[in-house]
DNA sequence: ATATAATATGAATATCTAATCACCTTTTGT
DNA sequence: ACAAAAGGTGATTAGATATTCATATTATAT
């Protein structure tokens, strides 16, 4: 499923070059999209020869997979760490959403690059979201055991609904909202979602 | 913003050819993605010459735009019609979600083609979702007036959250769920979401 | 010090594809 | 019936791009 196939560099210099390629690719896949950003664009941006690229990656697609998998692990790790000490399901959701939004505000390219997987590598697209959803579902099932979540709710449907909320609220936050993003606005968004999860949308 | 630029055909025969192009493009953009599906693929599938394509569309991208805009109007129209007689906000959300799911089950290619807009035409991507969200927000604001929605909730955040729920629940329903899709399963998904919107996720 | 492994290069290759255009056929209105 | 408008064609063009490879430099371990 979600595995890395790249053979990592063996010296500090190699690692530095590897990272330069990743950073340039991140920037260009985000700005120009995967198909429009060429290997030449990437190595020019990184001040390297074309051949150097193929020392570190088998293909353009394997570089792309490497980026998506690293975002997957980063996002999961951040959320797991931050929600470690949460006492309730709702607190988990609040800190989880906040962590996700902070991550995509800091790294908006991660957002667009993951989104592109439907076009670049459909297997990766499916694996990415199903892996995320399965882990989420397990947590929700545990919360049902603890009596924190209504057992009438189907946890797979709920997992996707919650992922959808994070992703689309993130979409608005990063791409569509033209005003400056202050802490207050993000708090307001998170609070609105948590009210909904706590009491529903009504009065 | 969301406008069509295609000059429509002037005879029944022309309309028939136009529709054949659209149907083949829909199929191939869905199966192979926008970039991998060539104009040749499309006209071969439709049993037409390459030149014929350029009678009806300025470019590959203008065909793509035409498809996305037609989905936008279809989806909006379906939801507006079906929710016309709904008495409460919650009933609106229930019928709206059900209508959206029925639409994407019937036309799964619409789903993947819209998703691709981030890569194919970023302006269209932004217009598509912001237009949808603005209309949604207006309805939610009206519901606050009527006392049906908690005024503490930010309606723009809520609009995106609700769009995210539909889209990601749809994702699971169409792409990731391998079992057969029976009516019961869809009802269960819709009911789970509505419980959440009515009472929150807890007990 | 030197052999070996790792890293770096960019011109050349082989393949692909959106769009054009000059010419042909069919349909429509009068 | 017939001109004009609409529809249809596919070989050709012009440009692009992922990957290879022979060769060169640099780093590492003994």
B6 — pLDDT class (breaks 50, 70, 90): low
Q: What is the mean pLDDT of residues A27-50?
A: 97
Q: What is the mean pLDDT of residues B146-163?
A: 98
**pLDDT tens figures, B18-55:** 999 999 999 999 999 999 999 999 999 999 999 999 99
A40 sits within 7 Å of strand D by its CB: yes
Cβ separation A198–B200 shorter than 8 A: yes
Mean predicted lDDT score pLDDT of chain A = 95
**pLDDT tens figures, A69-123:** 999 999 999 999 999 999 999 999 999 999 999 999 999 999 999 999 999 999 9
Q: What is the mean pLDDT of residues B199-203?
A: 96
With a CB cutoff of 8 Å and minimum separation 6, the contacts of B110 are: B26, B71, B74, B75, B103, B104
Q: Which residues on chain B are in Cβ contact (under 8 Å) with A192?
A: 152-154, 157-158, 161
With a CB cutoff of 8 Å and minimum separation 6, the contacts of A163 are: A129, A132, A133, A136, B164, B168
Cβ separation B126–A203 shorter than 8 A: no
pLDDT at residue A46, rounded to an integer: 98
Q: Which residues on chain B are in Cβ contact (under 8 Å) with A200?
A: 196-200
Cβ separation B152–A189 shorter than 8 A: no
Is residue B196 a contact partner of residue A200, using CB atoms and an 8 Å limit? yes
Distance from CA(B189) to C1'(D18), angstroms, rounded: 44
Instruction: Give the gyration radius of chain A's Cα atoms.
Output: 19
Distance from CA(B128) to C1'(C14), angstroms, rounded: 40
Q: What is the mean pLDDT of residues B128-151?
A: 98
B124 — pLDDT class (breaks 50, 70, 90): very high
Cβ separation A160–B149 shorter than 8 A: no
Nearest to A157 among B90, B153, B193 (CB): B193
Q: Which of B6, B11, B23, B105 is nearest to B57 (CA)?
A: B6
- pTM for the complete prediction? 0.95
Report the residue of chain B nearest A174, measured CA to CA.
Answer: B126
Distance from CA(B17) to C1'(D9), angstroms, rounded: 14
With a CB cutoff of 8 Å and minimum separation 6, the contacts of A101 are: A166, A169, A170, A173, A186, A189, A190
Q: Which of B159, B97, B116 is nearest to B28 (CA)?
A: B116
Interface size between A and B, measured as CB pairs under 8 A: 169
Q: How many other C-beta atoms can be found within 10 angstroms of the C-beta atom of residue B88?
A: 12
Cβ separation A201–B172 shorter than 8 A: no
Q: Is the pLDDT at B178 greater than 80, yes or no? A: no
**pLDDT tens figures, A152-187:** 999 999 999 999 999 999 999 888 887 778 899 999
- Least confident stretch, A73-77, B1-5, B193-197: B1-5
Tell the residue number behind the tokens 């088998």, with chain if given.
A58
With a CB cutoff of 8 Å and minimum separation 6, the contacts of A124 are: A2, A65, A68, A117
Alpha-carbon A73 to chain mean position: 8
* Nucleotide D16: closest residue by CA–C1': A38
Q: How far is CA A47 from CA A33, A40, A55, B96, in A?
A: 20, 10, 15, 52
B5 — pLDDT class (breaks 50, 70, 90): low
- Least confident stretch, A24-28, A160-164, B3-7: B3-7
pLDDT at residue B180, rounded to an integer: 79
| CA–CA dist A169, B157 (Å, integer) | 6
Is residue A20 a contact partner of residue A45, using CB atoms and an 8 Å limit? no
| CA–CA dist B176, A71 (Å, integer) | 21
Q: Check if B142 contacts A (Cβ < 8 Å).
A: no
Q: How far is B41 from chain A (nearest CA, A)?
A: 17
Q: Check if A178 contacts B (Cβ < 8 Å).
A: no
Question: In the complex, which nucleotide's C1' lies nearest to the CA atom of residue A52?
Answer: C8
């Amino acid at each position: 499923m979600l595995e890395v196939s790249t053979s990592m560099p063996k010296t500090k210099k190699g690692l530095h070059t590897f990272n330069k390629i990743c950073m340039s690719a991140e920037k260009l896949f985000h700005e120009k999209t995967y198909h429009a950003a060429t290997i030449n664009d990437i190595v020019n941006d990184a001040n390297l020869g074309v051949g150097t690229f193929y020392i570190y990656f088998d293909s353009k697609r394997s570089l792309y997979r490497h980026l998506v998998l690293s975002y997957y692990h980063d996002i999961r790790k951040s959320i797991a760490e931050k929600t470690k000490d949460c006492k309730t399901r709702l607190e988990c959701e609040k800190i989880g959403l906040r962590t996700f939004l902070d991550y995509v505000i800091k790294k908006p390219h991660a957002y667009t690059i993951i989104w592109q997987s439907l076009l670049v590598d459909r297997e990766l697209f499916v694996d990415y979201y199903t892996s995320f959803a399965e882990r989420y579902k397990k947590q929700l099932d545990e919360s049902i055991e603890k009596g924190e979540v209504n057992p009438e709710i189907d946890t797979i449907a709920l997992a996707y609904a919650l992922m959808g909320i994070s992703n689309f609220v993130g979409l608005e936050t990063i791409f569509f909202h033209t005003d400056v993003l202050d802490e207050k606005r993000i708090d307001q968004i998170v609070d609105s979602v948590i009210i909904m999860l706590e009491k529903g949308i009504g009065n």
